Amino acid sequence: MTLDEKLRLVFGFSDRALTDIVSVPDDIVPPDLKTYVVSHIVKGSAGFVPGVPRLGIPDQTQTDASIGVRNSFIPSTALPSSLATAASFDPEIPRAGGAMIGAEARATGHNTMLSGGVNLVREPRSGRNFEYAGEDPLLAGIMVGALINGIQSNHIVSTIKHFAINDQETERTSLDVTISAEAMRQSDLLAFELAIELGKPGSVMCSYNLINGRWACENDYLLNKVLKHDWGFKGFVMSDWGAIHSAAEAANDGLDEFTDFCCATDKSRFEPKILKAALASGTISQNRLDDMAERILWALFAKGAVDNPLKTGPIDYAADAAISQKAAEESLVLLKNDGNLLPLGRVKSIAVIGGNADKGVLAGGGSSDVTPVGGAILINKRTYLPSAPLEALKRELPRAKVAFDAGIDTASAAAVAARSEVAIVFVTQYDSEGYDGSLELQDNQDALVAAVAKANPKTIVVIESGGAVFMPWVSQVPAILEAFYPGIRGGAAIARILTGKDDPSGHLPVSFPASPGQLAHFDLPGLGLPNETPAHITYEEGAAIGYKWYDAKSYTPLFAFGHGLSYTQFGLSGLSNHLDGGALRVSFSIRNVGKRTGKGVAQVYVAPADWRTAGWEAPRRLGAFAKADLKPGQRKAIELTIDPRLLATYEAAGNNWHIRAGSYRLMLGEASDAQMQSVDVVLPDKVWSAATASN
Ligand code: BGC
């Protein structure tokens, strides 16, 4: 490859370049490159990196994101939010979803998806939690690994993001995060490590924030030492959109591809002219540039994008919507069901209230906000996907009289509820990239639920939210269904779960705090200040995120991690363990002891005899999980392996994982706060290098 060809591969354009690139001086982007970009870019997509036709190297056509192809000109099938999908506790769900959205990406001319958000839900208010897979590194790593695996089965590249510790949106481009290496490795980085091992993404997107004083995209520790050296990552690192602040430092600290160049006003430092000057002055070596190009080429070849050129084609949207609906049906979490109010059987009259349930289901905002098949319904600038729960409920309950009230006026909603046998209140909480939300429901929705519950004791609340919310009315309603953002067939899935056509089998991938006092950080640094104001946060809680924080503090959450009810009951029994060549294996069986077919989720937690002396961040960690689909009376034997990193602590001094000799307890239950059966095991001391790639 010539120097110019290599430089072409590392410099990406935003789709805004389509109109704005003409204003860019020719010495920054030469005229032939401008012409190429404008004639090859996919209109409305996220990014574009020109290929090298002379060598058969394809353009990189990049599209967001984890719930589907995002392009304002191309309709696509929206999956439930990634957080919802994580609630399925079944990696086959994100794998199937990934295969589906990856196929839509390919069919619409994209060979790179910016998909695989795996930042941990450290800050329950973060506006992007819905794009991630929860608070636990094992669950998040497995689910996101499976999503990437599905996407890349289409011979395209998937991009895990946002590397790393981009755990709040407030001042995301100027926040400096202080966190120890130990805490990172045992939390957010472990989620990335697992997802990368399982999903083998072609690329990693570094984030906007700083970590311990260094920008994420210019971070020798994260990019060179951890990702490329210790984990042996062979693919390339692309910047989040425009997230670089230098040329030579970024390149030397591990960035391989810059993104989002568009116009004359851009502050890009990665354009060919600047990189040539850096090569000439020796601030970037020829080897480094070759490595950057090689990594990009490796990803395109290894993931099949070179050998399987894009061919746009028709999409079976009905089949794809069915995949999304199945994902939603597996992901909705039944939080409460007093007196078995649900499923709704032969109900004569229902009041459906609020949440725009007559129009559709809410979706999250920002770069993952797809243009759905059937068209987005925009209400207060928020996207609702065209799958109205009201209509779906009428379909599932043809004999019931169904009345709708928009829920704007609490008195009128209460009156409608009082006249009906059952009331279903839909509440929504909008979250979006770029800002952090509140855990309190907005627009008087708490008062609405309270008023309806007072008018009708048989009130069911359905929540469409990015993540956790507070529920001051929790004890006033008998039934609560958490639907998160349930995707393009969300309304249908909600109706099928409420009416028992499907068994609810989602379990919470995040804890729901009971009050603001339970949050690890009361204040969000930088909140209310102009964008890009320098801000700082110290993650003193370290790796004690979510239920680990609650356990360490002895807090009782509103709803615990792993919680989720079913219409049937399961029995777990026969817990035992054995060491198999050093690997800790756990066996047990799960049986459907109820009267309906359903899916049980078994969760194994691991705990040292004394977590403080063992150096753990918290008393216990999720060690393994499994989901089983069982008919009444049916039983399944399950054997799971506990990943040794979940029994260890990371020791920065020697760059090692270390399991300390001693007694460990394995606990089996259906939620982190459920009754557990347990068995103890004595483990020998074990130390091994965290540089798995060199093992
Ligand atoms: C987001 C990324 C996204 C990119 C391209 C950025 O603002 O943080 O997640 O992939 O835009 O749209």
Sequence-distant (≥ 6) Cβ neighbours of residue 522 within 8 angstroms? 516
What backbone torsions phi and psi does residue 338 show, to the nearest 5 degrees? -65, 140
User: How far is residue 327's CA from residue 96's CA, in Å, rounded to a whole number?
Assistant: 9
Span from the CA of 683 to the centroid of ligand 1 (angstroms):
44
Three-state SS for 385-427 is ECCCHHHHHHHHCCCCEEEEECCCCHHHHHHHHHCCCEEEEEE
User: How far is residue 117's CA from residue 509's CA, in Å, rounded to a whole number?
Assistant: 14
| Dihedral, CA of residue 478, residue 626, residue 561 and residue 322, to nearest 10 | -60
User: How far is residue 689's CA from residue 326's CA, in Å, rounded to a whole number?
Assistant: 41
CB of 71 sitting under 6 A from ligand 1: no
Mean pLDDT of 262-282: 93
Tokens 């390919």 identify what position? Answer: 106
Residue 120: both structure tokens together: 């941990």
**Pairs from 644-648 (Cβ < 8 Å, separation ≥ 24):** 644/582, 644/583, 644/584, 644/686, 644/688, 645/190, 645/193, 646/138, 646/606, 646/621, 646/622, 647/584, 647/606, 647/623, 647/683, 648/686
Per the CB < 8 A criterion, the answer to whether 450 and 474 are in contact is: no
User: How far is residue 552's CA from residue 612's CA, in Å, rounded to a whole number?
Assistant: 10
Span from the CA of 241 to the centroid of ligand 1 (angstroms):
6
Which of 268-272, 568-572, 584-588 is the least confident region? 268-272
Half-sphere exposure of 204 (CA within 13 A, CB side): 34
For the chain, give me the number of helices (H) and strands (E)?
17, 31
CB of 114 sitting under 6 A from ligand 1: yes
Span from the CA of 257 to the centroid of ligand 1 (angstroms):
14
Please state the atom number of ligand 1 nearest to the C-alpha of residue 114: 10
Q: Return the percent helix, strand and coil in the chain, to nearest 5.
A: 30, 25, 45
pLDDT category at 660 given cuts 50, 70, 90 is very high
Give me the pLDDT at residue 582, please: 85
User: How far is residue 460's CA from residue 498's CA, in Å, rounded to a whole number?
Assistant: 9
DSSP β-ladder status, 175-178 and 210-211: parallel
Please state the atom number of ligand 1 nearest to the C-alpha of residue 65: 10
DSSP β-ladder status, 11-14 and 47-49: antiparallel
Over residues 20-32, the pLDDT tens digits come to: 999 999 999 999 9
Closest-CA residue to 492 (of 635, 321, 618, 373)? 321
CB of 169 sitting under 6 A from ligand 1: no
- CA nearest ligand 1 atom 5, residue: 46
Residues 365, 367, 371: CA angle, nearest 5 degrees: 75
DSSP 8-state class, residue 100:
H
Closest-CA residue to 672 (of 516, 545, 532, 560)? 560
CB of 241 sitting under 6 A from ligand 1: yes
Give me the pLDDT at residue 695, please: 38
Span from the CA of 416 to the centroid of ligand 1 (angstroms):
43
b (16+ CB within 10 A) / e for 160-179: bbbbbbbbbbbbbbbbbbeb
Residue 138: both structure tokens together: 């094992």
Over residues 86-139, the pLDDT tens digits come to: 999 999 999 999 999 999 999 999 999 999 999 999 999 999 999 999 999 999
Give me the pLDDT at residue 269, please: 86
Peptide bond into 671 cis (omega under 30): no
Mean pLDDT of 383-404: 98
pLDDT category at 268 given cuts 50, 70, 90 is confident
Residues above pLDDT 70, as percent of the chain? 100
- 3-class DSSP assignment, residue 307: coil
Mean pLDDT of 623-648: 98
b (16+ CB within 10 A) / e for 216-226: bbbbebbbebb
- CA nearest ligand 1 atom 6, residue: 241
Please state the atom number of ligand 1 nearest to the C-alpha of residue 367: 12
Over residues 511-564, the pLDDT tens digits come to: 999 999 999 999 999 999 999 999 999 999 999 999 999 999 999 999 999 999
CB of 15 sitting under 6 A from ligand 1: no
Tokens 């006033």 identify what position? Answer: 476
Which of 265-279, 620-634, 637-651, 664-678 is the least confident region? 265-279
E strand or H helix that includes residue 598: strand 598-608
Peptide bond into 162 cis (omega under 30): yes
CB of 367 sitting under 6 A from ligand 1: yes
| C-alpha dihedral sign at 126, 129, 131, 136 | positive
Please state the atom number of ligand 1 nearest to the C-alpha of residue 433: 8
> Taking the mean position of all CA atoms in its chain, how far away is CA 571?
30
User: How far is residue 647's CA from residue 421's CA, in Å, rounded to a whole number?
Assistant: 51
Give me the pLDDT at residue 178, please: 98
pLDDT category at 694 given cuts 50, 70, 90 is very low
Strands (E) located in 225-379: 236-239, 258-261, 333-337, 349-353, 361-362, 377-379
Give me the pLDDT at residue 448, please: 98
| Dihedral, CA of residue 290, residue 295, residue 299 and residue 300, to nearest 10 | -20
Tokens 């049980």 identify what position? Answer: 600
Neighbours of 340 (CB within 10 A): 11
What backbone torsions phi and psi does residue 537 show, to the nearest 5 degrees? -140, 140
- For the chain, give the mean pLDDT: 97
Span from the CA of 497 to the centroid of ligand 1 (angstroms):
33
Closest-CA residue to 692 (of 196, 313, 214)? 196
Half-sphere exposure of 497 (CA within 13 A, CB side): 33
Which residues are registered as beta bridge partners of 163?
206
Span from the CA of 255 to the centroid of ligand 1 (angstroms):
16
Helices 389-396 + 490-498 axis angle, to 10: 40
Q: How big is the chain, counted in residues? A: 695
Neighbours of 307 (CB within 10 A): 10
Span from the CA of 172 to the centroid of ligand 1 (angstroms):
12
- CA nearest ligand 1 atom 2, residue: 240
For a substitution probing ligand 1, which of 64, 172, 237, 244 has the most ligand atoms within 8 Å of its CB? 64
What backbone torsions phi and psi does residue 570 show, to the nearest 5 degrees? -120, 150
Over residues 433-470, the pLDDT tens digits come to: 999 999 999 999 999 999 999 999 999 999 999 999 99
User: How far is residue 112's CA from residue 106's CA, in Å, rounded to a whole number?
Assistant: 8
Sequence-distant (≥ 6) Cβ neighbours of residue 613 within 8 angstroms? none
| C-alpha dihedral sign at 59, 63, 68, 69 | negative
Please state the atom number of ligand 1 nearest to the C-alpha of residue 207: 8
- CA nearest ligand 1 atom 7, residue: 241
Mean pLDDT of 675-682: 96
Closest-CA residue to 102 (of 238, 256, 303)? 303
Over residues 557-576, the pLDDT tens digits come to: 999 999 999 999 999 999 99
Which of 129-143, 262-276, 324-338, 573-587 is the least confident region? 262-276
Give me the pLDDT at residue 693, please: 65
CB of 330 sitting under 6 A from ligand 1: no
Q: Is the pLDDT of residue 666 over 80?
A: yes
Span from the CA of 375 to the centroid of ligand 1 (angstroms):
22
| C-alpha dihedral sign at 541, 543, 545, 550 | negative
Mean pLDDT of 367-378: 97
Give me the pLDDT at residue 457, please: 98
